[in-house]
Chains A and B, each alone.
Chain A
Amino acid sequence: MYVIVVGGGKVGLNLARELIRNGQEVTLIEGERRAYLRIEQELEHAIQYGDGTELWVLERAGIQRADLVVAVTGDDEDNILICQVAKEKYLCERIIARCNNPRNLQHFKLLGVQPAVSATDLILNLIEHEVPGHGLVHLLDLPDEKLEIIEVEVTDGAPAAGRAVCDIDLPDGSLIISVLPSGRAGFVPKGDTVINPGDEVLVVLDPGLEPHITAQFAPNGRVG
């Protein structure tokens, strides 16, 4: 796979290093002369100097044959435009953009620059993971598809505890997709699989059904 990474800051440099270590072909583009010279000592031919928002710089790096373009400069305008031309002009199939200011996420979306990765949002998700609001953890949100996958630990005395999957009173628009008993391998349950207290279950659901899921699996709200 050929990957172009634009922006040789901490994120871009470490990304390039890891990708190279994994055997990928990488070109890092850095527009600041001193940073470029410093990184060149380490990456040698895998870094090029120039403004990664300029078309000739991207073309010199071989954007026409890139499988993936990753824009991780500290400037959201730059990241958006790099990915926009990668996708629309050079027809690069995969792009990833860094969003520095979460307030700019709407602009990434408006111009079809997806996925956009925001460190602030990642940390917020981690906080949510550590301190879940409904006693359940959001593993994956697919806002466009209007689906979520959540994880919840079954508490003692919950309506679902000790019951077979087919007997659990789940709302329409939700489905148990995995059971993860503590200390044992997870599996996909059948209708007669019994859910035990202490098990973790993965549920796919329509957004907004969280309170119903909590009521079945963790009514006494395991928080934290």
Chain B
Amino acid sequence: MVLVVGAGRVGAAVAKSSLAAGYTVSVLDEDPLSHERLDAGQATSWEDSGGRFTVGTAIEIDALLAAGIAEADVFIAATRGDNTNLLVAQIAQKRFNVDHVIVRVLDPARSDWYAEQGLHTICAVKLGIAMFEKAILDITS
């Protein structure tokens, strides 16, 4: 089971593609309206397609339990806050012993350091910087 915390652009897209790929998917977000992102562009609603959705705050243990963290094999921390993601990812890893924890971190420096500590971090900012650098190099060479 894949648990996605944060149904923003990144979280909702990853949740939808995971569901389409045949995984059981549960999404947790504090904003009930974020559910609309999960339905957008789909023929059937998120729940009708087999998805789960829970309204709750990421770092509340009760919310994580309601969203099914105890059964999660993959945990994805994709809220808009780096600090929330880094904390909730460590809760998933150290308290609930989720096998695979993947964290979205925008700050490159902390993405690197937490990766050294054993978290699987994904830093879109770092990827973006590298693409810009390559684009400039391609133009000037």
Contact = CB atoms under 8 A, between A and B. Distances in A.
Interface string A54-76: 11100000000000000000011
A69 B10 CA distance: 34
A111 interface: yes
Given A54-B109, A55-B110, A56-B109, A110 B94 contact: yes
B110 A54 contact: yes
B32 interface: no
A78 interface: yes
B94 A111 contact: yes
Nearest to A85: B113
A37 B113 CA distance: 31
B90 interface: yes
Contact of A88 (B82, B91, B95, B117): B117
B109 A111 contact: no
Interface in A70-111: 75-78, 80-81, 85, 88-89, 103-104, 106-107, 110-111
Contacts of B95: 110
A55 B113 CA distance: 10
Interface residues of B, number: 18
B19 to A, nearest CB: 28
Q: B-side binding surface: helix, strand, loop or mixed?
A: helix
B109 A77 contact: no
Residue of B61, B81, B83, B90 with most partner-chain A CB within 10 A: B83
B40 interface: no
A75 to B, nearest CB: 7
A77 B91 contact: no
Contact of B107 (A54, A77, A106, A111): A54
Nearest to B93: A110
Nearest to B88: A77
A76 B84 CA distance: 9
A53 interface: yes
Nearest to A79: B83
A112 to B, nearest CB: 10
B20 interface: no
Residue of B84, B87, B110 with most partner-chain A CB within 10 A: B87
Contacts of A75: 83
Interface in B89-120: 90-91, 94-95, 107, 109-110, 113, 117
Contacts of B91: 107, 110
Q: Which 7 A-B residue pairings sit nearest by Cβ, starting from the closest? A: A77-B83, A55-B109, A77-B87, A81-B83, A77-B84, A78-B83, A53-B83
